[in-house]
Chain A
Amino acid sequence: QKEVEQNSGPLSVPEGAIASLNCTYSDRGSQSFFWYRQYSGKSPELIMFIYSNGDKEDGRFTAQLNKASQYVSLLIRDSQPSDSATYLCAPENSGGYQKVTFGIGTKLQVIP
């Protein structure tokens, strides 16, 4: 079983729609979860982090965490063409060694 699983996509949504990106992880002890956006040829950029079960909203972005199901998701409302990028799910491994493992990433395409 992979440590972090994401659908590589591409996920295509029309402009203005909600994009839903999903991630499952294997380390049941993970406590910290990060979402990064990466444009082609650029470095990853942090867009959200979440530590507690439930929802966390920041502007057009909502992160959702369910530790019992080992599932974390990212919703992007009112999707814009500029949101077209690869979204990387990154839980921090338990064990106290600050190891952050990335999923393969979901490529999002927002169609104007």
Chain B
Amino acid sequence: DTEVTQTPKHLVMGMTNKKSLKCEQHMGHRAMYWYKQKAKKPPELMFVYSYEKLSINESVPSRFSPECPNSSLLNLHLHALQPEDSALYLCASSQGHGSPLHFGNGTRLTVT
């Protein structure tokens, strides 16, 4: 069982909808990540939070809005997405610099 929990597992949304992806970890990790993965491509970094502060934004469009309410939770708010945003969204956590990432099972997002 993964120690990083993502909900929901699957999400279908229209282009005018607002939805949120959620991620939770209880390993005491201080860094949390959002990655996007399209079919047959590697995970692509979107955001990094370190000690609950946004440290990396890889020029992600503003229709994706991350939030880190506390050290255990990470959200990704979605608004006005495009069909090309359909992908597997992966959350990960780590102890910090130099430590490996631990991934959740991902949320499979389909934008119609």
Contacts and interface: CB of A to CB of B under 8 A. Distances in A.
**DSSP class of A's interface residues: helix, strand, loop or mixed?**
loop
Contact of A104 (B2, B31, B42, B96): B42
Interface residues of B, number: 26
B106 interface: yes
B55 A92 contact: no
B97 A46 contact: no
B103 A43 contact: yes
24 contacts: A34-B100, A42-B105, A42-B106, A43-B2, A43-B88, A43-B90, A43-B104, A43-B105, A43-B106, A44-B90, A44-B101, A45-B103, A51-B98, A92-B97, A96-B97, A97-B48, A97-B50, A98-B50, A98-B96, A98-B97, A99-B45, A99-B56, A101-B45, A102-B44
Interface of A: 31-32, 34, 42-46, 49, 51, 88, 90, 92, 96-105
